[in-house]
Structure 1
Amino acid sequence: MEEYPSIPMERTGKIIRRAIYIFLQNYQYFTTTAALLAFPFSASILLSQALIPSSSLLSLLHSLLSSLFHAAGFPPSSQLFTILTVKLSQTTASSILALPFTLSSLIVAKASVIQALNHHKPSPPPSFSSFLSLYKPIIITQICNSILILAANAACFSLTVFAFNCLECLGFSSPNSILFVSATGAILYSVIIANAIIVCNLALVSSGMERCGGRVAILKACALIRGRTGTTLSLSVSVNMAMAAVEALFQYRVVGAYRHAKNPTSSMALEGIFIAYLNSIVIVLDTIVSCVFLRSCKTTCQIDEESKYYYQIEIQKQEANNLVKFKTSFC
């Protein structure tokens, strides 16, 4: 198998700076059309995370996951048991509540950004019908991404259950053994899910830029990030930290103030709208970063293929010259 050349770690900063430059170069379009299209999704995500702790859906999902993990052989005393049941139930509940906006607002917003950057030079503003034509391949990829995330969670779950069952069969049921397996499982789960999310984000951008949806876009994303795991993880961490900061700001300024005051005010509503708008800006920047990274991967692969092609031509020329010399000396 041929290895793609790895992108240096300092390339991460260059990609982020390039994405910010493109954003500022077309500031008016990205902060109006693209951000406003992503606003319903941003508001739904922030509101769903605020409403989830008091919702019956969360308690239902938590009880179902606890029963499932317990029946599969997870030790209830394990820290991994608590982490998985709490985080998975929260993530699933938030995804269910925001699903209509994910399939409409988020996809259309990403399509608008991708269409604007679909050339070597950004050319906004595109027409509404132009980036709406990207909706079909992107939504097919989004559905395949959901299946991929479910498969990644199922794989982590199966591996962890297998490890606990092996420990039980071998007689290692001490708290230290359970703690070691729990810590290892948590690290493995984080790495697998992080890589799956990176592949999904890159597949969405690839499906919009090349208009190929579904598993083809996912396979292309897997091929492009091969050998670039460090760069993709650092980019993902940077964007996720920005989103986490916006969500924490919403929890502190809006949700906390509402619980303290008990009655919503106009200032709370305006502040909530502004924070949701900031989250939309982060989503737009995330899409721009993915587009820039995808383009850099393609450029690197093309340069590598061209260098291999020229190297092959040089070898053929040398072989031809040696063959001519051999024939001349033989005659």
Structure 2
Amino acid sequence: MRRGGGGGGGGLHHGGAVARAGRVLRAAAAAFFHGYHCYTSVAGLLVLPFSAAVLASGAAAASSGTLRAVSARMRGVFDAAGFPPSAFFALLNAKLSQTVFTFTAALPFALTFLLLAKACVAAMLRPDDAAGGGGAARRRRAEGRAPVALPPCASVAGAYPALVATHLLGSFVMLSANAAVFSLLFLAFNGADLLGLTSHPATLALSAAGAIAYSVAVGIATVVCNLAVVVAAMERRAGHAALLRACVVIRGRVPTALALALPTNLGMAAAEALFQLRVVSHHRRAAGWTKLAPGVAGEAFSIAYIHALCVVLEIIVSCMFYRSCTRSDADELRELEPDDKGDLQA
């Protein structure tokens, strides 16, 4: 089989980013259902506290004085920077304030339960060359087709420090990406003001361009930071070494990474919206959490568990994407060949 293109981008060169993302998603779904009991145990024991913290912080954000203070501070920064009053910046201010509040409230759970879950899932999907069984067996373990079992505590504990360092560096990178985009928006809007482009159509067009640039920059930074945590778990790299390795691995595959991030993030967003609709709205009508009916409390637990499953699926997708990026061309050709070839020997 011949495939077009050079070796600079690595991986499969035929097909588009959506086709490659579909292959990774199918492999991740197969791995999840193959080790269903192990992955659901990780979701219930490790990810569930993190998901509950995220949902609870989102529910408390609407009536939090801290959120209002953060929003007022950011509005003051936007006004001082000379950003025009528009619906785009009002929405950006609201979403950023809620993101900062939720991130801060759930940070202790992210540094403990979430990172332990990532280390656990990565250990289950990490190929072990010392385990023997030949190249085919290692490929089956890497693709999630071999028997799945929960990893030993020593393996998870050994990867945990690298994950913490990488997660904290990734948070700083996300902050830097937001600051860089805001700096560019500041230059663009003030340059337009100096050139006299202050009409409503010009401001609207510049705001739309700023929204696209912000979404692309934050999306790329997010997928790189998430992949860096997977690299830290798989390769035992930490901090900037894992981040640089993630940048090398993802080179030429950014559209695929963005396409892979969409389904799981939509699932988590749907769970958060369902929690707001079914639990938070009932809380507002009941005027207190102590008056929640047992059925509503059961719904809250179920939605938190659904959110946890989406988080576990996101981790599996990231691990399978990492495997697809680091897999060599020879491995891909062997994967396309049938496993049982004894009758075809010449």
The answer to whether the Cα contact below 8 Å between 1:156 and 1:188 also exists between their aligned partners in 2 is: yes
User: 1:101-120 counterparts in 2 under 5 A?
Assistant: 101-119=109-127, 120=138
CA RMSD, Structure 1 to Structure 2 (Å): 1.8
What corresponds to 1:27 in structure 2? Answer: 36
| Distance in 2 of aligned mates of 1:302 and 1:74 | 53
Of the three residues 108, 122, 130, the one matched with 1:100 is 108
| Distance in 2 of aligned mates of 1:190 and 1:138 | 26
Structure 1 residue identity aligned to 2:323: R
The answer to whether the Cα contact below 8 Å between 1:111 and 1:208 also exists between their aligned partners in 2 is: yes
Of the three residues 87, 91, 96, the one matched with 2:95 is 87
User: 1:31-70 counterparts in 2 under 5 A?
Assistant: 31-70=40-79
The answer to whether the Cα contact below 8 Å between 1:203 and 1:218 also exists between their aligned partners in 2 is: yes
Determine if the alignment matches structure 1 residue 293 to structure 2 residue 298. no
Determine if the alignment matches structure 1 residue 204 to structure 2 residue 216. no
Determine if the alignment matches structure 1 residue 274 to structure 2 residue 302. yes
Determine if the alignment matches structure 1 residue 71 to structure 2 residue 80. yes
Structure 2 residue identity aligned to 1:290: S
| Distance in 2 of aligned mates of 1:147 and 1:98 | 16
* CA drift at 1:41: 0.4
Structure 2 residue identity aligned to 1:3: G
* CA drift at 1:166: 0.5
What SS does the aligned partner of 1:139 have?
A: helix
Unaligned runs of 5+ in 1: 305-331
What corresponds to 1:176 in structure 2? Answer: 201
Segment drifting more, 214-223 vs 293-302: 293-302
User: 1:219-298 counterparts in 2 under 5 A?
Assistant: 219-262=244-287, 263-298=291-326
Which TM-score applies when normalising by structure 1?
Answer: 0.87
Distance 1:68 1:301, change over 3 A: farther
* CA drift at 1:24: 1.1
What SS does the aligned partner of 1:60 have?
A: helix
| Distance in 2 of aligned mates of 1:106 and 1:194 | 20
Structure 2 residue identity aligned to 1:174: S
Structure 1 residue identity aligned to 2:178: N
| Distance in 1 of aligned mates of 2:329 and 2:48 | 35
What corresponds to 2:130 in structure 1? Answer: none
The answer to whether the Cα contact below 8 Å between 1:36 and 1:280 also exists between their aligned partners in 2 is: no
| Distance in 1 of aligned mates of 2:155 and 2:241 | 22
| Distance in 2 of aligned mates of 1:34 and 1:192 | 30
Segment drifting more, 172-181 vs 31-40: 31-40
Distance 1:257 1:60, change over 3 A: same
Distance 1:133 1:253, change over 3 A: same
* CA drift at 1:147: 0.6
| Distance in 2 of aligned mates of 1:70 and 1:196 | 26
Instruction: Indicate the structure (1 or 2) with the bigger Cα radius of gyration.
Output: 1
What corresponds to 1:320 in structure 2? Answer: none
What corresponds to 1:312 in structure 2? Answer: none
The answer to whether the Cα contact below 8 Å between 1:79 and 1:182 also exists between their aligned partners in 2 is: no
What whole-Å deviation, never above 9, does each CA across 1:98-155 have from its counterpart, x for those lacking one?
1110111110111110111112415422122321221100000001100110010001
What whole-Å deviation, never above 9, does each CA across 1:180-204 have from its counterpart, x for those lacking one?
1111001100010011100011111
The answer to whether the Cα contact below 8 Å between 2:11 and 2:327 also exists between their aligned partners in 1 is: no
| Distance in 2 of aligned mates of 1:302 and 1:60 | 56
| Distance in 2 of aligned mates of 1:163 and 1:274 | 46
What corresponds to 1:4 in structure 2? Answer: 9
* CA drift at 1:3: 2.6
| Distance in 1 of aligned mates of 2:172 and 2:218 | 13
Segment drifting more, 116-125 vs 238-247: 116-125
| Distance in 1 of aligned mates of 2:199 and 2:330 | 54
